[in-house]
Chain A
């Protein structure tokens, strides 16, 4: 019991496969990742703080977090509806729509980035008529909903500005919510709804009090996955963000900027902040998944 294998198995190949797995994992993932932490450990605390807490970076954290959150919320809402429609309704072309949901996984992020630009730029298919509506809408909001600070959004364009980041992150995050919800929804027995109905619940009560609580853990997991992906996303965003300092620069872009100035330490320090954030999210998601399975342990 002292070694890795807790009991001897008759199947051959344990040592070979585990050895190869660990070596490959170590060389490709663990050693390079640890390089980031080791590089940062050479910095003093003051240096580290200076590198990761400059005004330009703080602005980028707020932006990356805020817009990832916003995009994840929108995805949780629409993704939930998409999953419901795909699992529960039959309609012609359902298989095609179902396959298409994975497009953001399959389409290279750079392609998505320039495609969204082409659509939402002021001379683009959608931007042409949506951009004025957007500008008007924000103006209306700034006068009628004064308790929110709209300054960062006033006069913004859809593409090459903050809204573009939201569009790109919504595109990127959609499949996470749908694909996390779909299996849970498919496993959900229709008998549950029938039982609720025989007990006198109406459709609204059944949806909110029986189905929604069952789906909630998966919904939160999908939301968290989309959020985490949004924070790290680079390719699709840089094309459409406009990348104005202090206004529409995302955190990953600042890593690149530092690298281009040969400031490896500064870049690595930001990377460490991001890595720690995503590891904490990873932990949270794992806990969520354990929590969501708590009823199924028989």
Chain B
């Protein structure tokens, strides 16, 4: 009895203790972990409900008034939401005048205040480059920058008609201790003939400031000029006025550039290492904080953050106990291996905010993890870096492995592809960097025809999606699947007529009839380059036929953006093409599936002529092709715009002077944009191949010189673009039942098989 009581008592005591302990732990626990407490303990204290909350006054009076009749005249206009009636709020003219005082503060420069729009409105977006003064030294990099501007379609030699002016004074390196620092610019800049305080000038800079503080001071007065600068911090960056550049090295190529390193979309996409970095460790001074702490994250397995103290003249004087071990680790790994075998690459700030690591990582398809607080990322005005990089906070350095591990495979796949797109669209060569800079400024000035986010951030990117054509992504050939839309299901036939109409059996007339018979043909446009006037009557319905007298008879005029073309698709035809309606219809149905490519009939190929070390061109029947002739081909009408406004001027001039190769150039352009070969569809007659036979007809195709020209065109185009964009295809697209042993009646495109 006593024992049982004692035991029960003991039990009770134990229970009591347990409760106590539990409660205490619970209480402490609740205070320590998030969410635990609210859910377990008590309701969250929320914002109270108020009596008569629905009768609380509005934040501003005047817009909604319940008793308008009682409002007297004096009070009638009071509307705090919009503006006061006192009416005399500052008008646009007065405001313009008011901005003048703002000008004194350079930091507040914006396009509205420090940029004079009138020359741009009068002459369009034109860029002038000052000639180099006598005895002036210009670094190789800056010479490249200037050459790109001079070759760009925006270049003007007339400073009075210039919207933007670029001095030839080399300001790329403003580090006083650097060997490429140019002296005496401080006085030279303001004495430029059209300086005018710097308005409308654009200055390029890669390095500014020097040891020990690396201030971003240019060491000269930029006046009201815009600054395109690498490593720019958002303290001094003037939004929508300055441009943030990537830091590129001395040997960055002018054109072409390295293609992205990604060769395949492997999946799962994780590489051998998770996160890698190899670079200098600064023992003291600005930027040392992050790099000194990197070793905390290094684990020797999948997170490899290797730093070395060995740099500068007297590193051993500042060395610390870790240097030796660091240096040993550092030497064990090859930088290139790390880049290509890591999923993520750390891009920490150096002495300056930006570093070479950034572009290197992008090129290597290693997703950059940016650790540089306050860095205005390159071209951040238009590029969405969230899609191509991980931007972290220096202060949360230790969280980085966790952050990086939390990026899932699908995200890595997308981020990695985006690094490659961004690299090859905007960074791989100096001409891309410079042109992107100019285009960003152009978009600001002509805001009504500027690119939206999609045009900049989806392939093929802002340089190839011209806003002058349209600001609507739906009108370009590139975004149909993204937007879930389709191209218009009609095409416009564009026929170039060079010989007069003399008989009713002429190929031209048969061609017009065959094309007009297609139910997808919206209109036929004849581009009349013949000296004799067109006949007054045609055999087909006149509403579907338009004749345009070509003003410009050059070869390139074939690809002028004709306003008469209202459909997305163009069927471009030479007058001597021979096509049946079935062939037209089938090719159009293929084009609807590939609206960004050239879909044509006869194909050609390029090849590397090893013996002569140049690119060659062949019209032989081969198992692969890389071009289709545009004398009979479907393509998107945007490509007329591309040809006329984006193709390098020198190449268009070359085409016009040769009266040849216009189709090769078109194939080059489209392949640059799509990075894909064109598409060849089957056709009945061996179009033009037949005419290649000597003696059949007097055509430009029969001329042997013609072929030699095409050889040299191919090579010349590749060297001007800096790379060979054409790609081979080994596929021809045929109708589904093509040459199948089934009744011809079952076939939709039976005419193609008839000979």
Q: Is chain B found bound to chain A in the same assembly? A: no
